[in-house]
Amino acid sequence: MDRWRALLACPGCGGSLEADWSCRACGAHFEAPDGIPNLRLASDERTEAVRRFYERTPFPGYPAGDTLHALRRRTEHNAFLRLLDRAIPADARVVEIGCGTGQLSLYLARAGRLIVGADLTRASLRLGAAAAARFRLADVGFVETDLHRPGLRAGTFDVVYASGVLHHTPDPRAAFGSVAHLARPGGIIVVGLYNRFARLPTRLRRVISRVSPSGVMRFDAVLRERRTHPGRYAAWLRDQYHHPEEHRHTVAEVQRWFAGNGIEYLRTYPSVLLDDEPEDLFAPAADDWCVEGWLAQLGWIWTLGREGGLFMTIGRKQSSNRES
């Protein structure tokens, strides 16, 4: 049996699952079409709208003839993901919430780590599972599930990574509570969200896209980079400019989420402190001054704003916490 299956659970009661995907506690039975377990319960219409959106154009797509070496080289162009890979210890249990087509999950699947990629969208998961098989990565698996009632074992994961997903839920704060519940005491939580300020350039480009759908490429560096990859071009265009659900957040807001769920705030990336370039992504930053934080976020308009305005917040689950 694949080792990663032990990290899954019944989405209804949280019980352990048998080899045939039935729950030992409540007896519920689940299916696993294409080898990907479907541990997703019925959800609200807004969540279903997001699921249908990504079923049409899974994001991000894989280039034709992609290899594991090429995927790793492509991923390592991102300085944050290099730091993340360096910070996650060997043998860690990692879950990527909202994994999409699973490229980050595949990138992190080394050094004896157990990786679970979780997503609402089966079309995306099929692409990730096919790539895992093609790359012969045995310790990464994919599951179809909803983060509000996840088919994942609570209090188990060393690292919980949720980037680009909570801001597409009807209630991001409540969604964060579900995600935080998955980390073990002392475990790390990494959350990527659209910043309220850094998202302003994209919102302006969105207005331009409505007037001139083809002309927006002149103002979007990612679209220009992907112009020779039609599938990846279409996926970015839809995700950034036509998504049915989107919210934007500040650092202070996310810090309140952390405090309300027993999570020790460690840092943001990029840092909201001047001259703070972390070597260890999971080490706490120095105490920050709120004015410095607001000024840093205003500066993100010209930096993060070029590629959608996503910022990362990192925390550590405290040993004795109160869930909100």
Judge if 118 and 158 occupy the same domain: yes
285-305 tens-digit pLDDT = 887 667 888 899 999 999 998
Judge if 82 and 226 occupy the same domain: no
Judge if 218 and 92 occupy the same domain: no
User: Are 4 and 12 in contact, with CB atoms under 8 Å apart?
Assistant: no
Judge if 97 and 206 occupy the same domain: no
Judge if 166 and 307 occupy the same domain: yes
Angle subtended at Cα 42 by Cα 39 and Cα 45, rounded to the nearest 5 degrees: 135
Q: What is the pLDDT of residue 45?
A: 81
For residue 214, give its domain range.
201-241
In a domain, 158, yes or no: yes
> Over 50: is that where the pLDDT of 270 sits?
yes
88-100 tens-digit pLDDT = 999 999 999 999 9
Q: What is the mean pLDDT of residues 66-95?
A: 95
In a domain, 259, yes or no: yes
Tokens in use for 291? 């004015």
Give the total number of structural domains in the chain.
2
In a domain, 266, yes or no: yes
User: Are 229 and 38 in contact, with CB atoms under 8 Å apart?
Assistant: no
User: Are 215 and 251 in contact, with CB atoms under 8 Å apart?
Assistant: no
> What is the distance between the alpha carbons of residues 289 and 274, in angstroms, rounded to a whole number?
10
In a domain, 3, yes or no: no
Q: Pick from 237, 105, 98: which is nearest to 176 by CA?
A: 98
Q: What is the pLDDT of residue 96?
A: 98
Judge if 256 and 124 occupy the same domain: yes
Q: Pick from 185, 180, 187, 304: which is nearest to 251 by CA?
A: 304
> What is the distance between the alpha carbons of residues 91 and 178, in angstroms, rounded to a whole number?
24
Range from 22-26, 198-202, 218-222 that averages highest in pLDDT: 22-26
Judge if 94 and 176 occupy the same domain: yes
In a domain, 10, yes or no: no
- Mean pLDDT over the full length of the chain: 89
Judge if 186 and 310 occupy the same domain: yes
What letter would DSSP give residue 318?
Answer: -
**Given CA atoms 96, 101, 102, 107 in this order, what sign does their dihedral have?**
negative
pLDDT band at 167 (very low <50, low <70, confident <90, very high): very high
Among 241, 268, 301, give the residue marking a domain's end: 241
Judge if 63 and 49 occupy the same domain: yes
Among 241, 273, 296, give the residue marking a domain's end: 241
> What is the distance between the alpha carbons of residues 179 and 161, in angstroms, rounded to a whole number?
9
In a domain, 144, yes or no: yes
Q: What is the mean pLDDT of residues 20-46?
A: 92
> What is the distance between the alpha carbons of residues 12 and 151, in angstroms, rounded to a whole number?
8
Peptide bond into 244 cis (omega under 30): no
**Greater model confidence, 59 or 306:** 306
> What is the distance between the alpha carbons of residues 53 and 55, in angstroms, rounded to a whole number?
6
Helices 122-135 and 45-56: crossing angle in degrees, nearest 10, is 50
In a domain, 134, yes or no: yes
User: Are 261 and 180 in contact, with CB atoms under 8 Å apart?
Assistant: yes
> Over 70: is that where the pLDDT of 150 sits?
yes
Q: What is the mean pLDDT of residues 5-17?
A: 95
Q: What is the pLDDT of residue 59?
A: 67
Which amino acid makes up residue 203?
A: R
Q: What is the mean pLDDT of residues 251-271?
A: 95
In a domain, 81, yes or no: yes
Which CATH number goes with the domain that contains 111? 3.40.50.150
pLDDT band at 245 (very low <50, low <70, confident <90, very high): confident
Judge if 181 and 285 occupy the same domain: yes
Among 241, 273, 308, give the residue marking a domain's end: 241
Judge if 196 and 208 occupy the same domain: no
Judge if 148 and 258 occupy the same domain: yes
The model's pTM is: 0.90
